[in-house]
């Protein structure tokens, strides 16, 4: 009985040794961050405005953290199983268990296969998020140039269960800009692979067609128009815009959604809609959007 207890203690010691380092590192970082926040405070009193791709950046950070955690588990679990197998070899009664190596092998191989599949899917999602973030950053930089023309520009506007990538408020009108970071094919003609046709109803890419981004842009502009109308107390018209940075747009018709490449966005305010805004209407809409977009928490606690 004493021998069995001693072997159990050995097994626990092996497992504790494996987990001790990571647990101590996590505890140290957590205590250090809490101590820093209690001893220092930010001089700023207001939450910050959201930057281009704020939601995508959060998703990207979360996905990256998940991948790193999965990689850590992929390295740790096989080592842990190996340590348990070696420890079991010293426990009386288990030395001659013929099926024990098979059980450990099947468990480890199954875990490795599951994690590799999980990491493959995570890598695909990371690629998609990175492409989307690059597109939103590129469009955001182009739209920020419109502030020189008196426009107010807001990014990643939170809505009800979704976000609007960019909103431009100016005397020329209010524009809800949806951004899509569609990637291009490497094979084939580089000139043809960068063209997308727009007939007012459908987007025609080199190898596929879609209407989903146009419909999404319309839904988001409708929501923004209703929300701003209620928030400002007067009817507001919002123009839907779709931005496809890096693509050359071939227009063959006109539709309710305006489609621009990234380089064409500086022309946005030149295409006036049916409604122009007064300075007071611009200020009211900008005030409401400013309040809605100030959701970025400061790094340090506001409490002294």
Residues 179-211: tens digit of each pLDDT = 999 888 776 666 778 899 999 999 999 888 999
The C-alpha atoms of residue 229 and residue 227 are separated, in whole angstroms, by 5
Name the strands in the sheet holding 248-251, side by side, starting at the edge strand that comes first in the sequence: 209-210, 203-204, 195-198, 248-251
- What pLDDT shows up at residue 174? 94
Element (H, E) at 63: helix 54-88
- What pLDDT shows up at residue 44? 67
Residue owning tokens 């957590």: 30
- What pLDDT shows up at residue 304? 40
Specify the DSSP class assigned to residue 253.
Answer: S
* Cα–Cα nearest to 143, from 132, 151, 133, 135: 151
Cβ atoms of 173 and 166 within 8 Å: the answer is: no
10-residue mean pLDDT series, the chain (304 residues): 58 64 72 67 75 92 90 82 70 59 83 92 92 94 93 95 95 94 76 86 92 96 96 93 93 92 87 73 95 79 45
* Cα–Cα nearest to 78, from 100, 109, 99: 109
Residues near 235 by beta carbon (within 8 Å), at least 6 away in sequence: 229
- What pLDDT shows up at residue 106? 87
* Cα–Cα nearest to 56, from 139, 119, 146: 139
């Amino acid at each position: 009985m004493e021998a069995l207890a001693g072997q159990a203690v050995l097994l626990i010691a092996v497992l504790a040794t494996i987990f001790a380092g990571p647990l101590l590192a996590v505890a140290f970082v957590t205590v250090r961050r809490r101590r820093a926040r209690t001893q220092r405070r930010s001089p700023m009193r207001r939450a910050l405005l959201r930057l281009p791709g704020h939601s995508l950046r959060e998703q990207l950070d979360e996905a990256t953290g998940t991948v790193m955690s999965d990689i850590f588990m992929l390295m740790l679990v096989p080592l842990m199983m190996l340590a348990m197998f070696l420890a079991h070899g010293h426990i009386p009664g288990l030395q001659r268990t013929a099926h024990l190596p098979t059980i450990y092998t099947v468990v480890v191989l199954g875990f490795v296969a599951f994690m590799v599949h999980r990491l493959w899917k995570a890598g695909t999602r990371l690629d998609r998020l990175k492409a989307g973030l690059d597109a939103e950053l590129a469009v955001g930089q182009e739209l920020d140039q419109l502030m020189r023309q008196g426009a107010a520009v807001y990014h990643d506007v939170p809505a009800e269960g979704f976000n609007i990538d960019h909103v431009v408020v100016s005397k020329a009108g209010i524009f809800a800009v949806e951004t899509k970071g569609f990637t291009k094919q490497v094979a084939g003609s580089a000139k043809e692979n960068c063209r997308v046709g727009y007939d007012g109803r459908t987007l025609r890419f080199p190898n596929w067609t879609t209407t989903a981004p146009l419909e999404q842009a319309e839904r988001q502009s409708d929501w923004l128009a209703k929300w701003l109308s209620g928030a400002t107390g007067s009817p507001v018209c919002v123009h839907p815009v779709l931005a496809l940075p890096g693509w050359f747009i071939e227009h063959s018709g006109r539709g309710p959604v305006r489609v621009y490449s990234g380089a064409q966005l500086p022309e946005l305010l030149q295409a006036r809609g049916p409604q122009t805004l007064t300075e007071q209407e611009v200020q009211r809409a900008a005030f409401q959007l400013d309040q809605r977009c100030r959701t970025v928490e400061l790094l340090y606690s506001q409490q002294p």
